[in-house]
Structure 1
Amino acid sequence: MSLILILLFSLSFNSCSFMNSPVLPYENQEAMGLPVFYIHPKPISKDFYSPATVIYKGKSYDAEARIRGGFTAYSPKKSYTIRFSDSDLFNDPELGSEGFTDRKKILLVADFDDNSHIRNRLAQKIWEMMQDQGGGLYSSPVIQTDSSVVYTNGSFEGLYTVIDAVNEQYFDRYADSSTTPSLDSVEMTSGGNLYKGDTREANFYIKNELYDGFSKKMGTPESGNRGAYDDLTDLILFVNNSSDDEFADASDGFSTMASVESYYDWWFFSSFISAGDSMNKNAYHYHNPHGLWYFLPWDYNQSFGQNYITKRKSPSFSKYAQSQNGIFKRLVNHPGYETAQNSRYSEMLDTALELDQILAEVDTLWDEVQEAAEADWDKWGKEYRSYEWWENRDDFTTPREEVDYIKMWITSIHGQAKSQF
């Protein structure tokens, strides 16, 4: 209680740099139309968690927090992982598309390298649109996102993307259809293995150590123990060593090991939004116990017309640019799968991924975050333009201009994809 009183006292004498008005008191649940996370003290390290009080919608959580990210952890505006107590998990049934209830972890992503603040959410939404089977059912796992305002140490920190953590609890929810009925179409059970591609070596090609580039995030045996990566190495060996006939065999081929649509969609999705940094690393791979492998999308600041240091990338969709990834090389254009998938993507571009529908989603996301994005730009715009990794750019945009750029880019890439399917 004393900490909260100190914080409230501090807040009453601070002012927001973006509006020259008092910082919102902790009991305020929204700012600029978005929910607010109040964090104190501000996390100080990416290497360890430190105690933090998190106040959200009038409730105080005794939690832990750390700075998150690799390259982005060193940018002026930090991203955070919040870890809640087992006895007091985070709850907001209105956050995201399914609700964030009983969450051990949530991720608050700064999007310092995306001044539109919509790329991560738009990418995950497009993946969700691709997996939508109707009636709220999905053919591959989807990841919830939302947007929020964050205050640290009593001061406005900015606009953040809230992302659901992919962990044991995430897959337990998939396995429990009574908890998440709209995800019941994906055959999930608790206790599988989860891997994340951390470097470009996570490309499903043969290497000295087959699992180089991957880290094991979940499952047994745990990383560091004999056999920890056996199922992953078996998949990599099969992808590289099977003949075309063996690869497409209905009883023993790739379709008996992994969801063909999930992995084919990984290639199409990453190509469609030009997520070059996610063709090998920045991807999750979940192996159902005694079941199939599934892909889960992750980390899309490099997408929709910019690279990882915000340099502009012209729209260019090619059906045949699949060599970055061993699965893509085997799966894409394979005569056993190509015809059906080409037909599927052709239909998808006219339905789930119809251009006006995607552009409407961009507008919806921008409407949600516009006020907060402009406030964030007032606070961080100067640091963004002068940041050493991209300070030599001569084509900086405001947040609104960046959204217009994304819409123009999507319009062009959509036309290219349509012409090829």
Structure 2
Amino acid sequence: MKYRWIFLLAVTTVLVLSVAASGVEPERNRYHQHLEAADKPPCTDHDESVFCTHLPLMEITTDGPVPGPYLQETGAVSSNVWAVSNKIRNYEMVAASVRYFDSETENNHLSDQPAVEERAMFRIRGASSRSFDKKNYLIKFTEEDMTHSLDVSLSGMTGDDSWALHGPFLDKSLIRNYLCYNLAGEIMDYAPNARFCELFLNGEYMGLYLLTEKISYSENGRINFTATDPNLTVTSYILQVDRGAVDPRYAMETFGSNSYQTRTKLRAGQGHIEIVYPAKSLTQRQHDYIVSDFSRFEKAVFSFDYNHPDRGYRRYIDTQSFIDFFLINEFTLNYDAPGLSTYLYKDVSGRLKMCVWDFDAAFDYYRYSEVTTETFRIHNALWFKYLFKDKAFVDQVVDRYADLRKRFFNEDYLFQYIDDTVAYLGPAVQRNYEKWGYSFNPTYNGVDYDYLEPESRNVRSFEEAIQQIKDTITIRLEHMDNHLDRLYTLCHESMNKRYNHQTEAGGA
């Protein structure tokens, strides 16, 4: 028996090494709803007045009015709802009842027996999206006492108490987050899982939504690492980089911010790091440990010894994770990252990894100006500015891009993925735009809905929105094919003389 296990271990090792050597992306068992959901026959036992969908269906009934998106206004309100950025976000929650319908073989109706029926706390979530007519929401499932959290599994995703409901409004294609989360999920160790669904809120149809895992720890999945123990100082942790912590207990000032190397103090509204795990059980000792532990990475990457095999950054980070994060955000032109909507996580015995979040404005859908497809940006942000000083890091970026280009960064793969997703959504797209179709108009009821500047960038139909993504993909990949090697200028000796000289002098 002992020799049998030795043989099996040897075979497994050979297979793993063969996959690595071939450059073939390992299977990650990512669930793609549009490919794997069962086909459902049309209903014949009711008329058209009955709401009927092949997608999962969520019904939320709140105990009282949904709290408004803002606490108060601190300035004048513009007629352009996107421009209203000077409001204080409201995090007040309301108790609610949630019913979730998800038949595997038949269409879903509000009169069906729900797959899940639980109590929850509910509120509007998001930043700029709070100004949209179609809101994003946060659901936190609870026990009946409305105090203790309750882990709930939805559509096969990992059970947890916290879920995000993303309502595409700026993104007229409706698919940016779904496409990019699943693309990242095939490439990186973890990306949020997501399922399309349709939503009723307090009896009103709200359109197509993307039910999304919040980035958190679960012993059954999501970010899977060693659970925290409040009796210990050393802990696994998850960090968010965004506009700053609402609760000061979770705010962090690290070596990077205190030395003015990162955006935290240089650029208001971006680059602030906060602790999102541990949450309620976080102790002051653990807070201090996390700040110290993360600062060790920053001290290494900002130092003259940044690429030293023992004292450099590679001792502290999963380099592949940082490379994949860079490539997927550069490819999709998602330039909120890494100063906003960015997560990092670290197992107590592992190295720092990165996690993606929020592609609503990817593929050149930023509001104030066009994002040229013929540029690179993330290499100059936060820690990446220093990682790209290392030629070995740039070599890995270029090699990794070549591997991804064969499949996941391939037009044929991506266009088929997009077309199959649109086909899967089917009549849900029409229903969504029966509700929100006025957003294609330049103005409606005196409100400006042309969020993108200049005006010519705003699409006027769902079909045009899908084509805009495809056109951007084609141009972007052509640019990356031809110009990714420009990143080598960042690690050239002429750019890094003082670092290279100091390293050589220190080693003499």
TM-score range, shorter chain: 0.7 to 0.9
Structure 1 counterpart of 2:427, from 366, 371, 384? 371
The alignment partner of 2:467 has SS state of: helix
Alignment of 1:66-81 (within 5 A): 66-81=123-138
Query: Are residue 237 (structure 1) and residue 292 (structure 2) matched?
Result: no
1:5-404 to structure 2, matched below 5 A, reads 22=49, 24=51, 31-41=52-62, 43-45=66-68, 46-57=90-101, 58=114, 59-86=116-143, 89-92=151-154, 95=155, 99-131=156-188, 140-169=189-218, 173=221, 188-191=225-228, 192-199=236-243, 206-208=256-258, 212=264, 213-219=272-278, 220-221=282-283, 226-227=288-289, 229-240=291-302, 242-243=303-304, 246-307=305-366, 309=367, 312-318=370-376, 321-332=377-388, 334-383=390-439, 385=441, 386=443, 388=448, 390=450, 393-394=455-456, 395-404=458-467
Stretches of structure 1 lacking an aligned partner (at least 5 in a row) = 1-19, 25-30, 132-139, 177-187
Query: How far does residue 294 in structure 1 lie from its aligned partner after superposition?
Result: 0.6
Whole-Å Cα distance in 2 between the matches of residues 109 and 312 of structure 1? Answer: 24
Identity between Structure 1 and Structure 2 (%): 18
Are 1:39 and 1:152, in contact at CA under 8 Å, matched by a contact in 2?
yes
Distance 2:136 2:472 in 1: 27
1:21 offset after TM fit, Å? 5.1
Alpha-carbon distance between aligned partners in 2 of 1:359 and 1:380, rounded to the nearest angstrom: 25
Q: Closer, same or farther in 2 for the Cα pair 1:403/1:311, shift >3 Å?
A: farther
Amino acid at match of 1:257: Y
Larger radius of gyration, structure 1 or 2? 2
Whole-angstrom distance in 2 between the partners of 1:223 and 1:383: 49
Aligned equivalents of 1:21, 1:204: Cα separation in 2: 58
Equivalent position amino acid for 1:190 in 2: A
Alpha-carbon spacing, 1:324–1:388, altered in 2? closer, same or farther (3 Å): farther
| Distance (whole Å) between structure 2 residues aligned to residue 329 and residue 35 of structure 1 | 43
Offset from partner CA, 1:80-126 (integer Å, 9 cap, x none): 1111125754233xx3xxx2242212111111111111011111122
Deviations 1:30-70 (CA, angstroms, capped at 9, x unpaired): x4421110011263344122111111121421222111111
**Higher relative CO (CA 8 A, sep ≥ 6), structure 1 or 2?**
1
Contact residue 115 and residue 377 of structure 1 kept, 8 A:
no
CA contact (8 A) 2:98 2:118 kept: yes
- Higher mean Cα deviation, 296-305 or 203-212? 203-212
Change (3 A) 1:360 1:203: farther
Matched-pair contact (CA < 8 Å) for 2:440–2:449:
no
Contact 1:263 1:295 in 2 (8 A): yes
Q: Is the 8 A contact 1:53 1:61 kept in 2?
A: yes
Q: Which residue of 1 aligns with 2:80?
A: none
Distance in 1 of aligned mates of 2:301 and 2:418: 37
Residue 301 of structure 1: SS of its match in structure 2?
coil
Asked whether the 8 Å contact 2:440–2:461 carries over to 1, the reply is: no
Contact between 1:116 and 1:373, CA under 8 Å: does it hold in 2? no
After superposition, give the CA deviation of every residue in 1:375-399 in whole Å (9 maximum; x if it has no partner): 2122112246435473572433211
Report the secondary structure of 2:391's partner residue.
coil
Judge conservation of contact 2:317–2:352 (CA < 8 Å) in 1.
yes
Kept after mapping to 1: 8 A contact 2:241/2:338: no
Separation in structure 1 between the aligned mates of residue 288 and residue 396 of structure 2, nearest angstrom: 40
Q: CA deviation at 1:289?
A: 1.0
**Aligned length, in residue pairs:** 365
- Give the whole-Å Cα distance in 2 for the aligned partners of 1:369 and 1:222: 47
- When the two structures are superposed, what TM-score results if normalisation uses the length of structure 1? 0.78
CA deviation vs aligned residue, 1:199-233 (integer Å, no higher than 9, x gap): 39999994347784111111344699655522223
CA distance in 1, matches of 2:475, 2:368: 19
**Cα distance change, pair 275–168 in 1 and its aligned pair in 2 (3 A):** same
> Which region of structure 1 is more displaced relative to structure 2, 260-269 or 375-384?
375-384
CA RMSD after TM alignment: 3.0
- Provide the C-alpha distance between the structure 1 equivalents of 2:213 and 2:167, rounded to a whole number of angstroms: 14
Q: How far apart are the structure 1 equivalents of 2:363 and 2:223?
A: 33
Q: Which TM-score applies when normalising by structure 2?
A: 0.65
Gaps of 5+ in 2: 1-46, 69-89, 102-113, 144-148, 229-235, 246-251, 265-271, 485-508
| Structure 1 residue 405 displacement after superposition | 1.1
Q: Secondary structure at the match of 2:97?
A: strand
Give the C-alpha shift of residue 159 in structure 1. Answer: 0.6
By how many angstroms is 1:129 displaced? 2.9
